[in-house]
Amino acid sequence: MKKLILLFAPILLTGCIMDYTDYRMSVINNSQARIAVEVSNDTTKRTNNEIAYYISESIAPSDTSLISKSGENAWLEYIKQSKSKSLYIYVFSTDSLAKYQRGGADMSYLPGNKKYLKRLEYSLDELTATNWQIMYK
């Protein structure tokens, strides 16, 4: 019985250690305002995240933020699941997000009602060409 346990112990330990996250995407804020971003593979999909989350994850002027997705090639799989084979990046002013939050709005309302500064659309080829760096000016 001891041999059986020792045989499976390395497999169990290896399985627990290998947790992949895809960090290939980054957003570079070349504007003068603090921004927050929402990334989606569908223009009709809405998020359940709270506005406070986006404010806490905001990107300062002249700063860069890595945008991660759980999974080894998660961003590639996410794009493949898209009807248009594209990613949509919604850019919000954190000042505006704070006002919407005080007014009782939630993130599921904002993109559908065009309450963003800009919506960017990228195909896989475009993301590859930019080395997965999204620049907001």
24-61, pLDDT tens digit by residue?
999 999 999 999 999 999 998 888 789 999 999 999 99
pLDDT in the model for residue 63: 98
pLDDT at 109 over 60: yes
What single letter denotes the amino acid at residue 72? E
Contact 22, 69 (CB under 8 A): yes
Contact 88, 114 (CB under 8 A): no
Q: How far out from the chain centre does Cα 6 lie? A: 40
pTM of the model: 0.84
- At residue 4 the predicted structure's pLDDT band, cuts being 50, 70 and 90, is very low
